Amino acid sequence: MGDVKTAIGLMSGTSMDGIDIALLHTDGESIVRHGPSGYFPYDPHLRAIWQKALTTAKSIRERRERPEDLGDAERKLTLAHAAAVKSFLHRHKLQADQIDVIGFHGQTVLHRPDEALTVQIGDGPLLAEETGIDVVYDMRANDMVHGGQGAPLIPAYHAALAANLPEGFATPAVFVNIGGISNLTFIGDNGRLAAFDSGPGNMLIDQWIEAHTGKTFDKGGKVAASGKVVPPLVTRYMESPFFSANIRRSLDRSDFLPPQKGEVSLGDGARTLAHLTGTAILKSASYLPEAAKTYVVCGGGRLNPVIMAEFAAQAAEKDAKVIAAEDAGFDGGAMEAEAWAYLAVRSLKGLPLTYPGTTGVAEPVTGGVLATA
């Protein structure tokens, strides 16, 4: 048990709404003991800075570039994460010296896998200095150096969780993370692992709702529930080469855009995009080694009942069941942050973070950069 470490994972996803934080006791392999988790929303001013950073980052050609005010945005993002860690430790009566490592995702502002270019702003050394805890950060880049897509990284953690699925859940099982972008992790009966991004998750719905109402997401799926699916709009999205390409690739948030204002009503747009989330997942799942029997859904999308209902109805047509992560005994809101804690420990031990079946990397490869406190 001596190699079990206490790690904190920090995740700020494509929705850019806040920081998910989770504590995990793990050896980076088979031992996974869950600790507390939390969520720290960004205030509107900070969120506006991250949104502007997406535009600024488009000019980046070398991943260490920080044009215009992107360096200042990175510093503010890092300090926001440091404040979240300190608040989390205080809330749970923990001291910094009780934590071995922080897994720091940062904020993705550019992801162009075809150019082997990915940029997650977040200053690991500054976070280590501010918190007094060692930090592992920049975990995607080494995968790209070795020919991978740089995403998804969470499958290594999904595989550890799958080893502890409750009895009665049919396999093959697929973990579906519905964040801004959705991704799949397939775990076969023989432990075979395959994973890739599956298409838009909450991102388009969030952008659609914000453009029309100023709110950042469709709480409880109420707007989507008021509308109906517009099939031609679904067809248009599904005609994207992403869904028919011979090679699965990872997505940038700019690869899919919401409908134009006035193209459909607010309710119809939200309902159609909720339907699209399920359609995209199942289309992408058709590239998996075997047909899934159970889909375990984590991420914010599991809280939108319309997304879950649309996905479940379409999966049922393929004799598959859709369940929320909580129904399998997991915390669907904390899973990505937990994954970053788990990956940080794997990085410390030099264990692989990515595999040929998950990112297309030539061979299993570790990653991450260590910043010591």
pLDDT at res. 2: 56
Report the DSSP pairing between strands 5-12 and 294-298.
unpaired
Residue that is written with structure tokens 């990956």 in the block: 343
Peptide bond before residue 289 is cis, with ω within 30 degrees of 0: no
Query: Which amino acid is present at 148?
Result: G
Angle at 178 between CA 174 and CA 184, to 5 degrees: 30
Residue 69: per-residue pLDDT: 93
Q: How far is CA 286 from CA 17, 172, 248, 281, in A?
A: 31, 13, 11, 9
For the full predicted model, state whether its pTM sits above 0.85: yes
Handedness of CA 209, 257, 308, 313 (dihedral sign): positive
Burial class (CB within 10 angstroms; exposed 0-12, middle 13-18, buried 19+) of 276: buried
Q: How many CB atoms lie within 10 A of CB 120?
A: 22
| Exposure on the CB side of residue 295, measured as CA atoms within 13 A | 28
Question: Nearest Cα to 18, choosing from 138, 254, 179?
Answer: 179
3-state secondary structure of 181: strand
Q: Please choose, from the candidates 203, 165, 171, 205, the residue with its C-alpha nearest in 3D space to the C-alpha of residue 187.
A: 171
Q: What is the pLDDT of residue 210?
A: 93
Instruction: Note the pLDDT tens digit of each residue in 44-78.
Output: 999 999 889 999 999 999 999 999 999 999 999 99
Residue ranges in the chain whose pLDDT is less than 70: 1-2, 168, 170
Q: What is the pLDDT at residue 250?
A: 87
Query: Count of CB atoms within 10 A of residue 351's CB?
Result: 15
Residue 67 Cα to chain centre, angstroms: 26
Q: Are 92 and 332 in contact (CB under 8 A)?
A: no
Contacts with 339 (C-beta within 8 Å, 6 or more apart), sequence order: 9, 11, 153, 154, 156, 157, 158
pLDDT of residue 161: 87
Transcribe 313-350 into DSSP letters: HHHHTTT-EEEEGGGGTS-TTTHHHHHHHHHHHHHHTT
Q: Provide the 8-state DSSP code for 226.
A: T
pLDDT at 1: 46
Instruction: Copy the structure tokens of residue 207.
Output: 């952008």
Q: Which residues does 17 contact at the CB level (< 8 Å), separation at least 6?
A: 41, 42, 47, 206, 216, 217
What pLDDT, in 10s, does the model give residues 300-313?
999 999 999 999 99
Residue 364 preceded by cis peptide, ω within 30 = no
Task: Judge whether 188 and 174 are in contact, CB under 8 Å.
Answer: no
Nearest to 149 by CA among 56, 84, 227, 245: 245
Length of the chain: 373
Contacts of 304 (CB under 8 A, 6+ apart): 202, 205, 218, 220, 221, 224, 274
Structure tokens, 213: 């109402």
Distances 190 to 242, 289, 294 between C-alpha atoms, Å: 29, 12, 16
